[in-house]
A and B are shown apart, each in its own frame.
Chain A
Amino acid sequence: MTTLTVRRVSGPARLRRGALYAVLIIIALTIILPLIWIVITSFKTDSDVISNPYSILPNPFSADAYRTLASGQQPIFRWLANSFVAATFQTVIVLVTASMGAYALARLDFAGKKFIFGLIIGTLLVPPVIFLIPNYLIVQNLGWLDTLWAVSVPGAAGAFGIFFLRQFFVGLPTEIEEAARIDGAGDIRIFLQILLPLAKPALSTLAILTFLGNWNDFLWPIYVLLSPENLTLQPGLSQLQGAYSTHFSIVMAGAVLASVPVLILFSLVQKQIVESVASSGVKG
């Protein structure tokens, strides 16, 4: 009798929990299965893809697609290296310039501060399309077309980084810094030895967001990078699709190679990425 009563009370609740998990698992599968499917397809041979397009296991299991990519005319490993260099370089520029600038905006009083801060906030609201054509001409005049400079430097000039770090610096207590100043520490020392160490979480969040943003940028690189050997992964992958439009296994192998580095990075720092995105809306 007792068990019956217990079951009656918890029955609907248990059913609701079951339904909740079922829905969550269905959404998770909707997201994961297409990703697994491209990995499976990338290990199929061309004829296998054509004759058994929906077979769940490759038959035979083959790394041909990856071999074609490694030896073919589409230098995908070069693109991988280019993407890595461009994203790293942009991240370094952003961290250095934005943290220095943010120190001035957050901690120093100076003539023209309101104007500069207003300008920075104002450009945050301007859609990127406005800069597309003039920046193309500027990059062309600098002789940067078809070089990695074009995909790393202009993008580092955005207002987001300095605004983000300025918000963080303003939130830090000033006492330690004032004490250091009384002890004779100069601005450089205060910036390097006090503020930067305290800002480590914000700096790493900014580094991750900058790196990912650059790695995944698509519109700008397809227009400013031209030669096959100078492409980054995103425009390269788009070319790969054009070159091998009917060879799905090769295109999917390219997609796998382009995804693995960011998915590894994401799995290592997913908590930080997700939480920085989460707080962007609540604070903003």
Chain B
Amino acid sequence: MTSLAPLSATTVVPEPSATRRERVGRPAARKRTVTAYAFLAPFLILFATFVVWPAVFGIWISVTDWSPYKTEQTFIGLQNYIDLITPGSVFFSDFWQSLGATGIFTVASVPFLLVIPLGVALLLNQKIAGGTVFRAIFFAPFVLGAAVIGVIWKYMLDTQSGMINHLLGLVGLPTDIPWTVDVPWAWVSLVGVTVWWTLGFNAVILLAGLKGINTDLYEAAALDGAGTIRKFWNVTLPGLRPVMLFVSTTTILASANMFGQSYLLTKGGPANQTRTAIMYISDQGLSQDNMAAAAAMSYVLFAFLAIISVINFRLQRDKL
């Protein structure tokens, strides 16, 4: 109410004046370029400096032999890109291994990151007491940062003193599983931890999607004699399609950009097998001073992500 006080002051007591008559006569949609840019200026300065310029600058870096130790950079055309696709070049095998690791993680994690949250959303969509409490609990890990998640699970998954191996022992399973130091266990850990961390995020969006499905459709399906499973396939899934397109796109991109989990839980190991593309690019560019090559790699990764997004979009749209 208090916030509306100045508002009602200006609208309830109109002040007839010359300005008023003047303004009424003018066309409603006149261009107000100077005012608009004055309002936009603070944002545009930041946006130009840290978004638009770096995107262009990054392309320039990727076509030079950029090194922090040289004062002048030489234009070398597409050489950095050609190196990336030339077997035997310095970065070739490591770069493609890291893209492969990103690919493995994405393929292994996305189904779980879609199916488990969908299951949770279906449960939360029932008429239950305490629904918002469950929703808040499931979402809570998402607000913790990668480093917190990393140190918690590094401890939980420790081969010798971790709780997970201890619990497995209590039910008679092996107690020496190398969760973070050997494959395939490292992949299981990375996917599992990611599901634990982010399931609430997708569940909350899918739950909103479920609530948006017209209940008449379920009643109509029930009249046709459809059971729970047929209702799910014929009403729920088609009704969720637009939300699913959004969730699957953001999930694929998030998985393809995975960094913190590998950095903290497995250090990219064993033998760099879980070192993701982002981890390799940031290490080459910012720790090893191979900025030009790393910039080229980031654009190659961008191209892959764009292709995958388009394919995902096409596939889901065509089902309509």
Contacts and interface: CB of A to CB of B under 8 A. Distances in A.
Contacts of A43: none
Contacts of B139: 270, 273-274, 277
Contact of A24 (B4, B39, B128, B260): B128
Q: How large is the interface on B (under 10, 10 to 19, 20 to 34, 35 or more residues)?
A: 35 or more
A278 B208 contact: yes
**Chain B's interface: helix, strand, loop or mixed, by majority?**
helix
Q: How large is the interface on A (under 10, 10 to 19, 20 to 34, 35 or more residues)?
A: 35 or more
Interface in B4-51: 4, 6-7, 10-11, 14-15, 17, 19-20, 23-24, 29-33, 35-37, 39-40, 42-44, 46-47, 49-51
B46 A31 contact: no
A147 interface: no
A43 to B, nearest CB: 14
A53 B54 contact: no
B32 A108 contact: yes
A265 B144 CA distance: 11
A4 B277 CA distance: 64
Contact of A128 (B42, B120, B143, B257): B257
B278 A129 contact: yes
Interface string A240-267: 1100000010011011001100110111
Nearest to B62: A133
B15 to A, nearest CB: 6
Interface of A: 20-21, 23-24, 27-28, 30-32, 34-35, 37-38, 41, 49-50, 53-54, 93, 96-98, 100-101, 103-105, 108-113, 116, 119-120, 123, 125-138, 153-154, 156-159, 162, 176, 179-185, 187, 189, 191, 193-194, 197, 200, 212, 215-219, 222-223, 233-238, 240-241, 248, 251-252, 254-255, 258-259, 262-263, 265-267, 270-271, 273-274, 277-282, 284
Interface of B: 3-4, 6-7, 10-11, 14-15, 17, 19-20, 23-24, 29-33, 35-37, 39-40, 42-44, 46-47, 49-55, 57-58, 61, 120, 123-124, 126, 128, 132, 134-141, 143-148, 150-156, 161, 163, 166, 196, 201, 204-209, 212, 243, 246-247, 253, 256-257, 259-260, 263-264, 277-278, 281-282, 285-287, 291, 294-295, 298-299, 301-302, 305, 309
